[in-house]
Amino acid sequence: MPSSKFSKADQAASRQAAFKQAALKWDITGLMAGVDEAGRGPLAGPVVAAAVILDELNPIQGLADSKVLTALRREKLFDEIRAKALCCSIGQASVEEIERLNILQATLLAMRRAVEGLRLKPKLVLVDGNRLPILTMRAEAIVKGDALVPAISAASILAKVHRDRWCADYDVQFPQYGFAQHKGYGTAQHLAALREHGACPEHRKTFRPVTEVLAEVAR
C-alpha cells in the first residue's frame, strides 16, 4: 500500500515550486530607475540626488561609481547620460532643509524629489545604500549599488557633477573659501577660511566642524 506521506524529494520539489511561485509574484516588468546622492559629507551647500532610467537599446560604456572616475571622465559621461538615458532627473535639499531635518532625512527628501521629477514613472527604483526614501512605487536599497548597478552608477555621476558645478559657481560668489578646490569638504584650507572669514550663507552651521570653528572664533 503506497504511503500517504511525501518523500523528502517530493517535499523538496514542493518547496522549490512554492519558492518560484512566490518569486513570480514579485517579478516586475517595466522601467527601472537608479538613484544616488552626492554631498552628504561636505560642510556647505545642498545635498543632491539624481534618478536615471537607462535605455537598454542605447547603452553607455564606462559607467562606474563616480568616486573612481576622474573629473574629466565624469563630465563626459554626464553629457552622454543626459543624451542617451530614457529620462533623468536631479533633485536637491537646501542647507535650510539639512539643518531643519538632519542630513539623512534631507538626503532622502532629495532622492524622492529626483524620482518624482522623472518624466517616465518607473515600476522599480534601486537606491544606493541601505535607506530608502518614501516613494509610491516599489524600491530596494542596494549597498555599494553605485558599483553594481549601471543605472545607479549613472545617477551617482549626475549627482556628483551637478554638485561640483554648484561648488564652482558658488566659488565665484565667495572665492575666499575655495569651494572650487575642496567642494565643501572639511579640508585644512576650508577650516582655515572659516576661521578667517566666518561662515557664508551656504555653510551647514549644525555640522560639528563648522560649529566648533565658529565657537572657537567667537571666544
Which pLDDT does position 110 carry in this prediction? 98
Q: In this predicted model, what pLDDT tens digit does every residue of 117-140 receive, in sequence order? A: 999 999 999 999 999 999 999 999
- Which residues in the chain come in under a pLDDT of 70? 1-29
Map out the domains of the chain with their CATH numbers.
32-174 (3.30.420.10)
d(Cα 40, Cα 42) in Å, to the nearest integer? 6
Q: What is the mean pLDDT of the chain?
A: 90
| 84 SS3 class | helix
Which pLDDT does position 40 carry in this prediction? 98
pTM: 0.85
Within 31-119, strands assigned E span: 32-38, 47-53, 87-93
Which pLDDT does position 10 carry in this prediction? 46
